[in-house]
Amino acid sequence: MNITSKSEIKRKALIDATIELVNNNGFHATPMSKIAKMAGVSAGTIYLYFENKQDLVDQVYLEVKAAFTSYAFRNYNEEMSVEKGFETIWKNIAEFKLKEVEEAYFLSQCDNTPIVDEPVRQQGLKHLQPLLDLWEKGQQQGIIKKVSPYSLYAFSIYPIAFLMNMQQRGVYQLTPEHIEEAYEMAWHSIKN
């Protein structure tokens, strides 16, 4: 058996339990003891893997964010045209938020509350660089609106989170047609 495998399994179990419980109850309403129980380990064991509760969420945040950005750039390469590249990335992100609902909802909770602090959040953002590069290239080519990348993000990527939240709450169904429709809106809002 792989040296790390057994402990990696426990670590993974702890992370999954944290995501599920924080999603349902919020960070501070999630006791370490419940996380331990759901992960099938003892309370003290958590502290072999994580320094303390804050370190636990921080690491969960960073790992989920990394998984998210990795997913976002699947099948993307810098040789693609700006439009094709954006479509690829946008749909990856949409697919992630649809398929990995728990992870996505966890991220949205961390991004909208003070449970992880600024430095950690900054660290989580660094992997999004290729999208910013793509936008800059598009702006140089006159394809993308010459506005701040924050605006581009706000109007093309951020809306996906809202649609996911609504679907999560059961008030809205994100069908494939809705996704295509939404992609068109995203693209129209940033293209020139």
Partner DNA sequence: CATGAATGAGAATTCATTCAT
Partner DNA sequence: AATGAATGAATTCTCATTCAT
Binding site residues, a copy of itself, CB under 8 A: 23-29, 108-109, 111-115, 118, 145, 147-148, 150-151, 153-155, 158-163, 165-166, 169, 171-172, 178, 181-182, 185-186, 188-190
- Asked if 186 interacts with DNA (CB under 7 A), we say no
Angle subtended by helix axes 118-125 and 53-72, to nearest 10: 20
Q: How far apart are CA 123 and CA 19, in angstroms?
A: 19
Contact between residue 101 and residue 170 where contact means Cβ atoms under 8 Å apart? no
Q: Which of 12, 26, 43, 185 binds DNA (CB under 7 A)?
A: 43
- Asked if 53 interacts with DNA (CB under 7 A), we say yes
- Asked if 52 interacts with DNA (CB under 7 A), we say yes
Contact between residue 108 and residue 121 where contact means Cβ atoms under 8 Å apart? no
Q: Which two tokens stand for residue 70?
A: 């990795």
Q: How far apart are CA 29 and CA 70, in angstroms?
A: 30
- Asked if 47 interacts with DNA (CB under 7 A), we say yes
Q: Which two tokens stand for residue 77?
A: 């390469």
- The entry of a copy of itself, DNA, none near residue 52 (CB within 5 to 8 angstroms by kind) is DNA
- The entry of DNA, a copy of itself, none near residue 165 (CB within 5 to 8 angstroms by kind) is a copy of itself
Residue 28 CB, nearest distance to DNA (Å)?
Answer: 7
Residue 129 CB, nearest distance to a copy of itself (Å)?
Answer: 15
Contact between residue 186 and residue 90 where contact means Cβ atoms under 8 Å apart? yes
Residue 105 CB, nearest distance to a copy of itself (Å)?
Answer: 9
Q: Which two tokens stand for residue 19?
A: 């995501």
Question: Which alpha helices (DSSP H) does 73-175 contain, by range?
Answer: 82-99, 101-111, 118-125, 129-140, 149-156, 158-168
Residue 153 CB, nearest distance to a copy of itself (Å)?
Answer: 7
List residues near DNA by CB under 7 A.
Answer: 6-7, 10, 28-33, 41-48, 52-54
